[in-house]
Amino acid sequence: MEEEVVRDNSDFQFDNWAVDLKLPRKVIQQLRQEELVTKQALLLVEEIDLKTLGLPLGCTKLIIAEIRKWKGSVSSASGNQLSPDAASLDGAGKLLDDLLISSNGVLAGGDETPTSTFMDPRSLLTMKSTSKKLSI
């Protein structure tokens, strides 16, 4: 697998890649200045890095999309890990809230009113530590 990655890097031509993406000359110069001209270096780049460089949003999105394609083909053995979006995190928070409600409808922290809104994990830890101190 490593030989395949090395071969992919040796076949990579930065100039051809930049032209294929139709990147402006100024963007190409910035990437060269930051020494982001190899596939190996570009694979390490994240969107925040490109924004920090001040690249236009369109170019940033094009570059990141290309990097994601590479990662999908190169790192298929490691599996595609999805980053959670806000909706899934909110859903997980609501499930956690529901788990904290005991069978009689009282929250683990002693609050009499159950809630279905997302609770900050720090609040949950505070509630848990407070309830343990009271029970001792």
Comparing 6-20, 81-95, 98-112, the range with the smallest average pLDDT is 98-112
**106 located within any domain:** yes
Residue-level pLDDT at 78: 43
Higher local confidence (pLDDT), 42 or 101: 42
Domain boundaries, position 51: 2-74
**53 located within any domain:** yes
Higher local confidence (pLDDT), 20 or 105: 20
Task: Pick the last residue of a domain from 74, 106, 121.
Answer: 74
Phi, psi of 107 (to 5 degrees): -65, 155
Q: Are 104 and 97 in contact (CB under 8 A)?
A: no
The position carrying tokens 């910035």 is: 30
Residue-level pLDDT at 52: 93
- Give Rg (Cα) of the chain: 24
How many distinct structural domains can be found in the chain? 2
The mean pLDDT of 80-91, rounded to a whole number, is 59
**45 located within any domain:** yes
pLDDT-based confidence at residue 6 (cuts at 50, 70, 90)? very low
Picking from 34, 33, 42, the residue whose alpha carbon sits closest to that of residue 12 is 42
Query: 110 and 54 in one domain?
Result: no
**80 located within any domain:** no
